[in-house]
Amino acid sequence: MKSKALFLFCAFIFTAMLSRAQVAYGPKDTIRVATTNYNGEIIPWVVIGEVTVIDKRTFKSKEDFDNYRRLRYNVLKVLPYARFAGQRYRQLERDLALTNDKRKQKELIKSCDKEIKDLFNDKIKNLTISQGEILIKLIDRETNNSSFDLVKDLKGNVPAFLMQSVAKIFGHDLKTKYDVDQDMEIEGIIHSVGYYSYQ
């Protein structure tokens, strides 16, 4: 019995030494990093990306938790629309900067307007009032312009006034601006899904 245990122990040691002897280091096994001399000691350092530490959120009541869940749902529902609007607006700005021809600029604006309407017309019509308010804020966040200013710049004063009037009937204000401090709940939700912004 003792000899069997001794044999197994020796076999284990031999196998461990054999596996260790098979480790070979090649030229690609070395990672070069920057170093700093700190009080005579060489310390390697590596630059890493920004890390955001978020504490687990607690709520005072079930009602607060339900309100937060509803807000999160609404933000995540309209965020893709705002992101697309921001990307399309930046593309339109680049296209308009390449031409001085007024007719060509009108065609570009009309094409952009049609593309956005075709893509989102049915979906945006079905948004709730609170989702519409969040969308207006997020468009301002993405483009750094209120929805009213975007319509005014692209279509003129009269269409902007008419759209603002219609929005007011439904309880919206196209001049609403996004304020990070005031809308920090929305900002926190956006950051929690890993999206920051183009700006």
Which residues, 6+ apart, have CB-to-CB distance to 192 below 8 Å? Answer: 54
Q: What is the pLDDT of residue 11?
A: 64
157-170 burial, b for 16+ CB within 10 Å, e for fewer? eeebeebbeebeee
Is 2 within the bounds of a domain? no
d(CA 60, CA 63): 8
Is 179 within the bounds of a domain? yes
| Burial of 134 from C-beta contacts in 10 A (0-12 / 13-18 / 19+) | buried
Q: What is the pLDDT of residue 76?
A: 92
Is 27 within the bounds of a domain? no
pLDDT by 10s per residue, the chain, length 199: 566 666 666 666 666 665 554 455 556 667 777 888 889 898 888 888 877 777 777 889 999 999 999 999 999 999 988 888 888 888 888 888 888 888 888 888 888 878 877 777 777 778 888 888 888 888 888 888 787 887 787 777 887 788 778 878 877 778 888 888 888 888 888 888 877 665 5
Q: What is the pLDDT of residue 63?
A: 94
Is 30 within the bounds of a domain? no
Is 121 within the bounds of a domain? yes
H or E segment to which residue 126 belongs: none
Tell how far CA 18 is from the center of its chain.
50
Are residues 137 and 97 in contact, defined by beta-carbon separation less than 8 angstroms? no
Is 108 within the bounds of a domain? yes
Is 103 within the bounds of a domain? yes
Number of domains in the chain: 1
Name the token pair of 29. Answer: 């096994």
Is 6 within the bounds of a domain? no
d(CA 157, CA 162): 9
Are residues 178 and 172 in contact, defined by beta-carbon separation less than 8 angstroms? no
pTM of this prediction? Answer: 0.65
Domain that holds residue 179: 62-192
